[in-house]
Amino acid sequence: MSESVAVIVTGLNPDVVMSLYPNPVMDELSIEWGIANEIVHVSLTNLIGDEMTNATFRNNVSINMNNYTSGIYLLKLTSGSGIFIRKIIKL
């Protein structure tokens, strides 16, 4: 069983703080966006470029990764504050 660890990331805009957890993930990846009511587009792709998830949210969202195969994925978050790309490990 993996341990849940919050990852705090700052991007191009020092006012943007987001949390991604747990990473590595087994079932559900939680994303908390630090700027209230800002629209954020999220895209999750595997390493060969297949898009697994494509959505838009405000504040917080969870991605169910239960049916995804184990491996490395790229999470891209796009907002008015910038573009943020993070590596997500699925166990």
Number of domains in the chain: 1
Task: State how far the Cα of 12 lies from the Cα of 72, in Å rounded to an integer.
Answer: 24
Contact 74, 85 (CB under 8 A): yes
User: Is the residue at 37 inside a domain?
Assistant: yes
At 29-46, the pLDDT tens digits run 999 988 888 899 999 999
Do the domain assignments include residue 58? yes
Tell me which range, 10-19, 53-62, 67-76, is most confidently predicted by mean pLDDT. 67-76
What tokens does 44 get?
A: 């999750």
**For position 82, what pLDDT does the model report?**
86
Residue 83 has pLDDT above 70, yes or no: yes
Domain span at residue 51 reads 7-90
Q: Is residue 2 one of the residues assigned to a domain? A: no
Indicate the DSSP class of residue 25: B
Is 1 domain-assigned? Answer: no
CATH of the domain at 70: 2.60.40.3080
**Is residue 11 situated within a structural domain?**
yes
